Amino acid sequence: MRKLDLESVLPELQRRKAKRIGIQIPDGLKYRCEKIAEFFESRGYEVVISGSACYGACDVDLDLLRDVDVLLHLAHTPIFDIDRVLYVPYYIDYDLEVFEDIDIEEKRIALIASAQYAWKLPQVKEVLERRGYEVELKTGSKRVKMPGQVLGCNYTVLRNSKAEAVLFVGDGLFHPVGAKIYTKKKVYRFCPLDGEFEEVERDVEDFLRKRYVSISKAIEAERGAIIVSSKIGQKRLGLALKLKVLAKERGRNVEVIYLDDVTPQRLENFLYGYYVNTACPRISYDDVELYSVPILTPQEFEILLGVRKDYEVDEIP
Ligand code: SF4
């Protein structure tokens, strides 16, 4: 069961005496905006929907916030406390019995999940401990709110992990692949909805092979630029400027480009041979096929410059 808990914000809207509310929702759920707007309109609120892209809690529509009493940011856990922004959680429910059937060779395991699945990890931990596992469920940096929660830009719940292996609960391969590169430990992925259980291994090799191909292509290119996003939770201008200095010391000139949404269309007129992306790391990892030139992470750029040897995932702590 998937649940967007709209009821949860009603008391706070009343307490704040809000009249006009803004609604910001991730692209994948925008098809539900009509029903969501109706829910609030039927309770007397004036509703304005954000049409901008919404990548995560790092991406709050501050323009819309100026024109409404309260902005509802849907389906992400908060990264920042911003006055007049309320977060509406989105949970995926799943049975705990399914954790009786998975067998993990290692006895000490760290539990992680994306936000939609992480709310139930304390109960998953209990099931696994009853079965004799020693389970680590740690709190990460301020960017992640729930124990065991990982983001595409944050694996701090695994920092200094003493576990022998990691169990990722959820769908998709991106987070478990990131966890494996981050910890260098064995990582299992288990989706409690369809019961799919696997060790993540070959996907990591594929991922790294593609990333090193991008680095090699960028080495050949003469002109490059470093991208900075103006989004509140993605902006790393300081890092971009440091990389520019580092590049200059190594004989490479790069410009710094500042923009809101990082998309191929926004970059197509610049004609650089490669980019270094300091915005959301997933732009480098997931959108690589959309760009005609390499789009490296800061760590990959350091490998290109010869100041880093080991591959590391990009993280915004
Ligand atoms: S920076 Fe990217 S991975 Fe991190 S919260 Fe934002 S959208 Fe998610």
Q: 33 CA to middle of ligand 1, Å? A: 22
Q: What is the per-residue pLDDT for 158?
A: 98
Residues 6+ apart with CB under 8 A from 77: 57, 87, 89, 115, 144, 145, 146, 149
CA distance 50 to 24: 5
| 152 in contact with ligand 1, CB cutoff 6 A | yes
What's the fold here for domain 205-305?
A: Rossmann fold (3.40.50)
Cα(114) to ligand 1 centroid in Å equals 12
DSSP-assigned beta bridge partners for residue 217 = none
Burial of 110 (0-12, 13-18, 19+ CB in 10 A): buried
Index of the ligand 1 atom closest to the CA of residue 56: 7
Nearest protein Cα to ligand 1, atom 8: 56
Q: Is the pLDDT of residue 1 over 90?
A: no
Tokens describing residue 54: 């919404």
Give yes or no for residue 288 having a pLDDT over 90: no
Residue nearest to atom 4 of ligand 1 (CA): 153
Is pLDDT above 80 for 2? no
3-state secondary structure of 39: helix
Q: Assess whether pLDDT exceeds 90 at residue 254.
A: yes
Superfamily assignment of 2-89 in CATH?
Answer: Diphthamide synthesis DPH1/DPH2 domain 1 (3.40.50.11840)
Q: What pLDDT is stored for residue 274 in this prediction?
A: 98
Amino acid 166: pLDDT: 98
What percentage of residues in the chain have a pLDDT greater than 90? 91
Pocket test for ligand 1, best of 54, 58, 231 (most atoms within 8 A of CB): 58
Per-residue pLDDT at 245: 98
DSSP conformation class of 166: E
Q: Is 153 in the pocket of ligand 1 (CB under 6 A)?
A: yes
For residue 120, pLDDT over 90 is answered with: yes
Q: Say if strands 108-113 and 134-136 run parallel, antiparallel, or are unpaired.
A: parallel
- Please answer whether residues 86 and 72 qualify as being in contact, where contact means their C-beta atoms are separated by less than 8 angstroms: yes
Q: Strand 197-199 to strand 186-190: parallel, antiparallel, or no bridges (unpaired)?
A: antiparallel
Residue 110 binned pLDDT confidence (cut-offs 50, 70, 90): very high
Q: CA-CA distance, 86 to 233, in Å (whole number)?
A: 16
Give the mean model confidence (pLDDT) for residues 74-96: 93
Atom of ligand 1 nearest to the CA of 55: 7
**pLDDT given for residue 261 in this prediction:** 92
CA distance 133 to 149: 20
Of 24, 55, 231, best ligand 1 pocket probe by most atoms within 8 Å of the beta carbon: 55
Residue 202 pLDDT: 82
Does the pLDDT at position 148 exceed 90? Answer: yes
Choice between 3 and 279, residue whose per-residue pLDDT is larger: 279
280 lines ligand 1 (CB under 6 A): yes
What are the sequence ranges of the domains in the chain? 2-89, 97-200, 205-305
Q: Pick from 158, 293, 285: which is nearest to 222 by CA?
A: 293
pLDDT at 44: 97
Q: What is the pLDDT of residue 235?
A: 97
Beta-bridged to residue 139, according to DSSP, are none
Q: Is the pLDDT of residue 294 over 90?
A: yes
Structure confidence by residue, pLDDT tens digits, 212-241: 999 999 999 989 999 999 999 999 999 999
In which band, very low, low, confident or very high, does the pLDDT at 203 lie, cut at 50, 70 and 90? Answer: confident
Nearest-atom index, ligand 1, CA of 154: 4
What are the beta bridge partners of residue 74?
Answer: 88
CA distance 109 to 174: 19
Residue 280 contacts residue 235 (beta carbons within 8 Å) = no
User: Which ranges of the chain does DSSP label H, i.e. alpha helix?
Assistant: 10-15, 33-41, 62-67, 115-118, 121-130, 174-183, 202-220, 237-249, 264-267, 281-286, 298-305
pLDDT band at residue 89 using 50, 70 and 90 as cut-offs: confident
Query: Residue 201: its pLDDT value, please?
Result: 86
Nearest Cα to Cα of residue 189 among 208, 178, 203, 173? 173
> Is the fold of 2-89 the same as that of 97-200?
yes
What is the mean pLDDT of the segment spanning 181-210?
94
Cα–Cα distance measured from residue 79 to residue 119, given in angstroms and rounded to the nearest whole number: 16
Residue 85, pLDDT > 90, answer: yes
Q: At 108, which helix (H) or strand (E)?
A: strand 108-113
The verdict on the CB of residue 89 being under 6 Å from ligand 1 is: no
Identify the CATH class of 97-200. Answer: alpha beta
- How much is the mean pLDDT over the chain? 95
Q: CA 16 to CA 283: how far, in whole Å?
A: 37
